[in-house]
Amino acid sequence: MGAPRLATGPSRNKLRSETVNRTFYWMVIPALLLFLVLHTVPALTGIFYSFTNYAGYGEWDFVGLANYANLFRDDRILASYGFTFLFAVTSTIVVNVGALFIALLLNAKIKFQTAFRGIFFIPNVLSVLIVGYVFNYLLSNNLPLIGQALGLEWLSSSILTNPDLAWLGIVGVTAWQSIAFSVIIYLAGLQTVPAELYEAASLDGASPWRQFTAITFPMISAFFTINMVLALKGLLQAFDQIVALTGGGPGTSTESVAMVIYRGGFQGGEYGYQMANSVVYLIVIVVLSLLQLRTLQRKEADFS
Amino acid sequence: MTLQKLAEPAESDKAGSAPLPGPSGKRRISSFNIPVTILVAVLSLTVLIPLYFTVVTALKSPDQLGGTGFELPTSIHPENFSKAWELTNFPHALLVSGIVTACAVVLTIITNSMVAYAIARNMNRPFFKALYYFFIAALFVPFPIIMLPVTKETAMLGLDNPVGLFLLYTVYGLSFNIFVYTAFIKSIPPELEEAAIMDGASHWTTFWKVIFPLLTPMNATVGILTCLWAWNDFLLPLVILSDPATRTLPLVQYVFQSQFNTDYSTAFASYLMAMAPLLLVYLFAQRWVISGVMRGSIK
């Protein structure tokens, strides 16, 4: 504290900025090394093995692009991409529409606001896998009872064992859980909208729907972008809930890409092949995320 | 005008005391939107009913499980819990999950904030700027894509255990956390640190004594998100952990599926025990958790 101040000048500043540098480097280099070892190196070795016929053990040979060519002729792989896109896009829409709706309700002048907000966040505190097991039981045993009572044939047996409907069950459970987090982000966004805007709008006689399209949505469009990108990226990796609900079945009708990589890579002796699958999938995810960011941000610009 | 201004704070100060006459007091009470409140209450049942179902199923004996499944148990069966407790070796899995989560949270907060600080304060230097974009780019690489080589590598390095697990959470969290921290650190005026440095403190001490305490709100946000992730994660423990004695709680539920078989009462008791610790913490710290998550989304 009471240390005498030395003469300040350019030379002292220069000296300081050099020592600054060294401490700052010490702060990042250990983390960077760990990141390289545990993230970058695996990614690179994975890409390397995607050009081999490595089974995960034993000897291997280079096979060039054969793995990549085979991917596009493999029905199981193509089906898993089809299912994953269908599931991820549908869930992203359901989650965002549902979450925005609930957030708007929670942001209104309601009683017990904090308590309700707390309730809607509960699913996010629970394990996706365990939630999947609970709903597996509900969808297999209780939902058919409702279907029978209503006389709906398609709902009278478990939708999880129906190859055409199982994916909807997964979408439903995913939505139940993922809406929780999106609601909170939308609520954070809604709180940034100044109340005066609504006062002015209601004086002008704008309907609630008009207020939503003209004020609320444009004001929270950045939060909409974040939620859409995060949801799609997360849902494209779906694994836990599918393990718990259908195990990829019936047959392989609900196998996600992550699941095919896991099964083929760890149990099927397809290490090299599944790494080629992973590389293709990485490219797909990056392209999709960037496209999504660009279109949504252009929309944002249109609004403002 | 002046009267109204005077009346308003007085009213809020005396909340709960004798009701004040006047139209403004009345309007405040009726200003709650009752139809929307009812709608929200009905919608919240979609969250509460599955939870209620889990609890009653865990309390029933197997022969009570018929019917709609939503009836209250006719008799309570706590032996479901003791059965699940022994079958899954619950205390052991709880200990592993607890240690992994606690270590992941502490290590993440300490290291990730430090890395973000160094990057945020040196964004004008090419090395740190490149580092920033390198970590952010990694956000686009989901774990399933690297899981095969990571599993091989952790086994090779002797990290196929809980230590490796919390290390991976700490390292994989970097991308997102740096993003969150740097935005916040940029809002802290550098004059604070400069003053400390002028007084002879090293950059190291300055970070821990001056900056780190200022990061408390962000540390809470990052800590909450890391805790939820590490506690509930399934895929990473599934592929990384090699010793059955080191299974985490979600992993135990997966492994014991075949043993629960059709004994759903025991299975649900086990699910409930696995969810309960974090759920209880959440019930008590609800406001704090939600404001922490909200803070992370506003830049």
DSSP classification of residue B248: -
CATH of the domain at B135: 1.10.3720.10
Beta-carbon separation of B33 and A109 below 8 A: yes
Rounded CA separation B248/B95 (Å): 8
Q: Which residues of A touch B50 (CB under 8 A)?
A: 131, 134-135, 138, 176
Residue A144 binned pLDDT confidence (cut-offs 50, 70, 90): confident
Beta-carbon separation of A108 and B297 below 8 A: no
State how far residue A47 is from chain B, nearest Cα, in angstroms: 9
Q: Which residues of A touch B294 (CB under 8 A)?
A: 184-185, 187-188, 191
Beta-carbon separation of A128 and B234 below 8 A: yes
Q: Does B12 touch chain A (CB under 8 A)?
A: no
Beta-carbon separation of A278 and B44 below 8 A: no
ipTM > 0.85 (yes/no): yes
- Tell me the percentage of chain A whose pLDDT exceeds 90: 62
Q: Which of B77, B92, B115 is the last residue of a domain?
A: B77
Furthest-apart CA atoms within chain A: distance in Å: 90
- Residue ranges in chain A assigned as alpha helix (H): 10-35, 41-49, 66-71, 75-107, 113-121, 128-137, 143-150, 166-190, 195-203, 208-211, 217-219, 221-236, 240-245, 257-262, 271-303
B44 and B159 both lie in a single domain: no
pLDDT value of residue A301: 67
Residue A100 binned pLDDT confidence (cut-offs 50, 70, 90): very high
- Is B97:B248 a contact under the CB 8 Å cutoff? yes
Q: Which two tokens stand for residue A219?
A: 């004001």
Q: What is the pLDDT of residues A213-232, one digit of tens each?
A: 888 999 899 889 889 988 99
Nearest to A119 among B47, B118, B279 (CB): B47
B161 and B183 both lie in a single domain: yes
State how far residue A118 is from chain B, nearest Cα, in angstroms: 6
Residue B162 lies in a domain: yes
Nearest-CA residue of chain A relative to B120? A24
B161 and B195 both lie in a single domain: yes
DSSP classification of residue A40: I
- Is A129:A244 a contact under the CB 8 Å cutoff? yes
Residue B4 lies in a domain: no
Residue with tokens 């290590």: B107
Name which of A254, A1, A217 is nearest B201 in CA terms: A1
Beta-carbon separation of B51 and A122 below 8 A: yes
Q: Which of B77, B111, B145 is the last residue of a domain?
A: B77
Rounded CA separation B212/B240 (Å): 32
Residue B21 lies in a domain: no
Nearest to B37 among A32, A111, A266 (CB): A111
pLDDT value of residue B30: 56
Instruction: Give Cβ neighbours of residue A174 (< 8 Å, ≥ 6 apart).
Output: A87, A91, A95, A235, A238, A241
- For chain B of 299 residues, list the mean pLDDT of each consecutive stretch of 10: 36 39 47 90 94 92 79 85 90 96 97 95 92 91 92 94 96 93 91 87 89 94 95 96 93 88 88 94 90 80
Instruction: Give Cβ neighbours of residue B187 (< 8 Å, ≥ 6 apart).
Output: none
pLDDT value of residue B202: 86
Nearest to A31 among B111, B168, B267 (CB): B111
Residue B8 lies in a domain: no
Q: Which residues of A touch B228 (CB under 8 A)?
A: 124-125
B69 and B88 both lie in a single domain: no
B70 and B160 both lie in a single domain: no
DSSP classification of residue A3: P
Q: Does B138 touch chain A (CB under 8 A)?
A: yes
pLDDT value of residue A141: 87
Residue with tokens 């956000």: B139
pLDDT of A14 higher than 60: no
- Is B235:A243 a contact under the CB 8 Å cutoff? no
Nearest to B200 among A3, A120, A239 (CB): A3
State how far residue A163 is from chain B, nearest Cα, in angstroms: 22
- B260: amino acid identity, one letter: F
Beta-carbon separation of B239 and A262 below 8 A: yes
Rounded CA separation B127/A102 (Å): 44
B67 and B204 both lie in a single domain: no
Residue to test with chain B: of A13, A18, A129, A279, most B Cβ within 10 A: A129
Q: Between the CA of residue B243 and those of B104, B155, B174, what are the distances in Å?
A: 20, 11, 27
Beta-carbon separation of A105 and B43 below 8 A: yes
B44 and B113 both lie in a single domain: no
Any bridge partners for residue A62, and if so which? A52
Residue A57 binned pLDDT confidence (cut-offs 50, 70, 90): confident
* Range scoring the smallest mean pLDDT among A3-7, A106-110, A204-208: A3-7
Rounded CA separation A19/B239 (Å): 43
Residue A21 binned pLDDT confidence (cut-offs 50, 70, 90): low
Looking at residues A14-43, what average pLDDT do you find?
82
Phi and psi at residue B172, in whole multiples of 5°? -70, -20
User: pTM score, two decimals?
Assistant: 0.88
Domain that holds residue B123: 81-296
Looking at residues A125-148, what average pLDDT do you find?
92
pLDDT value of residue B194: 87
Q: What is the pLDDT of residues A171-211, one digit of tens each?
A: 999 999 999 999 999 999 999 888 888 888 888 888 888 88
Q: Which residues of A touch B37 (CB under 8 A)?
A: 110-112
Number of domains present in the structure of chain B:
2
B100 and B53 both lie in a single domain: no
Q: Which two tokens stand for residue A297?
A: 């941000």
Residue B110 lies in a domain: yes
Name which of A271, A261, A86 is nearest A171 in CA terms: A86
Q: Does B288 touch chain A (CB under 8 A)?
A: no
The radius of gyration of chain B from alpha carbons, rounded to an integer in Å, stands at 26
> In 10 A of CB B22, how many CB atoms?
12
Name which of B278, B265, B246, B266 is nearest B57 in CA terms: B265
B177 and B189 both lie in a single domain: yes
Burial (Cβ within 10 Å: 0-12, 13-18, ≥19) of residue B99: middle
Rounded CA separation A91/A234 (Å): 11
Any bridge partners for residue A52, and if so which? A62
B118 and B68 both lie in a single domain: no
Nearest to B50 among A31, A117, A138 (CB): A138
Residue B175 lies in a domain: yes
Query: Length of chain B, please?
Result: 299
Rounded CA separation B84/B273 (Å): 9
Rounded CA separation A276/A67 (Å): 6
> In 10 A of CB A186, how many CB atoms?
26
pLDDT value of residue A81: 96
pLDDT value of residue A15: 44
Q: Which two tokens stand for residue A57?
A: 């053990």
Residue B225 lies in a domain: yes
Nearest-CA residue of chain A relative to B272? A130
- Is A197:A218 a contact under the CB 8 Å cutoff? no
Nearest to B32 among A109, A125, A233 (CB): A109
B203 and B142 both lie in a single domain: yes
Nearest-CA residue of chain A relative to B150? A42
pLDDT value of residue B295: 85
Name which of A245, A109, A76, A107 is nearest A174 in CA terms: A245
Q: Which of B77, B98, B116 is the last residue of a domain?
A: B77
Beta-carbon separation of B297 and A123 below 8 A: no
Burial (Cβ within 10 Å: 0-12, 13-18, ≥19) of residue A164: exposed
Beta-carbon separation of B138 and A1 below 8 A: no
- Is A154:A162 a contact under the CB 8 Å cutoff? yes
Rounded CA separation A29/A40 (Å): 15
B60 and B138 both lie in a single domain: no
Nearest-CA residue of chain A relative to B225? A125
State how far residue B136 is from chain A, nearest Cα, in angstroms: 12
Residue A6 binned pLDDT confidence (cut-offs 50, 70, 90): very low
Residue B252 lies in a domain: yes
